[in-house]
């Protein structure tokens, strides 16, 4: 789903897979310019978040230029231009996928998995330890 808002991101892409944001120009926004939420295999290409050319505007957005939030795997942001934002130009971020709750051994940690959909993506190399003991998160 893609929609424009008056209060919030100028353009938001909410959920989905294989979504492409291409050739978008954002000249002003009260918050984030382009907000991509909970997407996998998505591409952001040739997106401009800049003050409108030919004006004396000092800022393009009051917050991030492009935010990628709670993103899945294989997302790409390329050939885009971000200038004069109030915060980060490009801000990819996710909430924690797990929380360490104890260390039962020298090379072992016990974690609470924050999302069952992410459980399959955890590996020992992600945690740089020789074994990983997990238990489901409490509701």
Task: Please state which of the ranges 9-13, 29-33, 39-43, 60-64 shows the lowest mean pLDDT.
Answer: 39-43
What is the helix (H) or strand (E) element at residue 124, kind and residue range? helix 124-127
Q: What is the pLDDT of residue 73?
A: 76
Mean of pLDDT values over 82-98 = 81
Long-range contacts of 102-109 (CB under 8 A, 24+ apart): 104/133, 105/131, 107/131, 108/132, 108/133, 109/133
Average pLDDT taken over every residue of the chain: 75
Domain layout of the chain by residue ranges: 2-93, 98-136
- Range list of H helices, the chain: 124-127
Within 8 A by CB and 6+ apart from 93, the residues are 67, 68, 69
Distance from C-alpha of 105 to C-alpha of 87, rounded to nearest angstrom? 41
Q: What is the pLDDT of residue 78?
A: 85
pTM for the model stands at 0.67
CB contact burial 39-71 (16+ within 10 A = b; e otherwise): beebbbeebbbbbeeeeeeeebbebbbbbbbeb
Using pLDDT thresholds of 50, 70 and 90, give the confidence band for residue 98.
low
Task: Please state which of the ranges 11-20, 87-96, 127-136 shows the lowest mean pLDDT.
Answer: 127-136
Distance from C-alpha of 139 to C-alpha of 120, rounded to nearest angstrom? 19
Using pLDDT thresholds of 50, 70 and 90, give the confidence band for residue 135.
very low
């Amino acid at each position: 789903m893609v929609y424009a808002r008056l209060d919030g991101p100028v353009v938001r892409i909410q959920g989905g897979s294989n979504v492409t944001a291409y050739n978008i120009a954002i000249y002003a926004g009260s918050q984030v310019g382009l907000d991509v939420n909970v997407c996998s295999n998505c591409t952001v290409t040739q997106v401009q978040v800049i003050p409108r050319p030919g004006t004396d505007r000092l800022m393009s957005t009051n917050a991030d230029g492009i935010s990628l939030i709670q993103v899945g795997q294989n997302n790409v942001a390329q050939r885009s231009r971000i200038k004069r934002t109030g915060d980060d130009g490009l801000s990819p971020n996710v909430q924690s996928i797990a929380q360490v709750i104890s260390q039962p051994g020298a090379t072992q940690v016990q974690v609470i998995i924050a999302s069952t959909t992410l459980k399959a993506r955890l590996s020992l190399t992600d945690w740089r330890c020789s074994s990983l003991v997990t238990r489901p998160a409490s509701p």
